[in-house]
Amino acid sequence: MKSYERLLSSRLLELSADAFSNHGCNDMSNETLANISITDLVQLEKDFNKWYFPKSEDYIPFDAIGDWMWMSYLAYRLKQ
C-alpha cells in the first residue's frame, strides 16, 4: 500500500469512527472477525489495549471494544 493510500484510509477510518461512536452501541458482528485466527485475535486485543492505555494497567476485553474503537486503532496503525 502506498503512503497516500494509507493516509487516506486512515482518515476515512477516523471519520467513520467518529460517526459510529454516535450510534450508541457496538454493531460489529462475529462475522466481521471470522477470517482472523483466535491467536491473532488475542494478540490484537493485547495490542489495542497497549495503544488505548499506554501508561496504565487498565484493560478492555475484546467483546467490549466497540466498532468505532477498532476503527480509531486501525487508523492510528495505518499512520505508523
- pTM of this prediction? 0.84
In this predicted structure, what is the pLDDT of residue 35?
A: 93
Cα separations (Å) of 55 from 12, 37, 50, 58, 61? 28, 28, 8, 9, 17
Structural domain spans, the chain: 3-79
State phi, psi for 15 to the nearest 5 degrees.
-65, -40
Which of these, 21, 14, 12, lies nearest to 66 by C-alpha position?
Answer: 21
Report helix angle 3-21 to 67-79, nearest 10.
Answer: 160
Per residue in 1-34, pLDDT (tens digit) is: 899 999 999 999 999 999 888 877 666 777 888 8
